Each structure stands twice: as C-alpha cells, then as structure tokens.
Amino acid sequence: MANKLTKGFEDYLEAIYVLIEAKGYARTKDIAYQLRVSSPSVTEMLHRLEKDGLVEYERYAPVRLTKKGEKIAKTVKTRHDTLTKFFKIINVEDATAEKDACAVEHELSPETLEKLTNFVEYVEDTPIKPKWLIDYKKYSKKAKVLG
C-alpha cells in the first residue's frame, strides 16, 4: 500500500461499507453526504483508495470494495460499533456515543480494543445484568440530575 492507512482512509472505507450494507451500493454523492465533504474530495480519495487496491472505482458507477478494502472496513465498523455500545452501557446519550466512537475508534491499541470488546460482549450476553451495572446506571442518572 503506497499510503499509510490513515483515519481518513478508514472513514471512507467504513462509509462505503455502511452504504453498501444499507442501500446495496455506494455512489460518490452518497459518500459525500455521509462524510459531509464535497463530491470532488470523494473522487480524489476514491482514486487514492483504488491505487492502494481497496476499492474499485469507475466514474458514474457505484463504488465497490475489494476483499482487502472490505476486510479493513469491517474491522473499522466493528471497532466503531463496540465503542458505541460501550458508551451507551455507561449511559452516554446516543448521538454523543456515535460522535465519540468516531473520534476514538482510530486511536485505540489492539489490546484495549480487545478488552473493551470482551466487556461489551459480557454485558450484552449476560441474561441478568450484574448488580454493579444496575447500580451504576442509577448512580449515573442521579449524578446527571445533581450535576
């Protein structure tokens, strides 16, 4: 890969992946809308991603992820989803959880991400929520009212 896999590359791959999952395709204008950037910026980045073998791009055609691009996109999406779920577990508002997940998802070490993933899976898979989690949610709501 000629370019280092930057936050920008990851954001584009994740956006393309999310669009394909939701709509069945990803077009330049959809990517621009989702990332809140201009269509020319998207076109420029798509050329860079194509050069690195991460997407297949033809003008006026939907963008396709290569196997390599899809693998990276799924990894980024999983990181994002794990962080969003974690933030929601600790009572962060939905919109803030999404925003903060985007900010943090590129910076975590693999070790920290693995531990967070394990924690989130534990909380989600536990049929009866542990007392400490129930107590924390009450505490968090009470602290919010007092704050």
Domain membership of residue 1 (yes or no) is: no
Q: Is 15's pLDDT higher than 60?
A: yes
pTM value? Answer: 0.84
pLDDT score for 2:
44
Residue 55's H or E segment, with its range, is: strand 55-56
Residue 136 identity (one-letter amino acid):
Y
Q: Is 60's pLDDT higher than 80?
A: yes
Would you tell me how many other CB atoms lie within 10 Å of the CB of residue 18? 18
- In this structure, the answer to whether residues 104 and 136 fall within a common structural domain is yes
Q: Which of 53, 71, 89 is the last residue of a domain?
A: 71
Range of the structural domain that residue 56 is part of: 7-71
- In this structure, the answer to whether residues 142 and 114 fall within a common structural domain is yes
CA gap 16, 38 in Å, rounded: 15
SS3 69: helix
Contact 26, 19 (CB under 8 A): yes
Specify the higher pLDDT residue, 138 or 25: 25
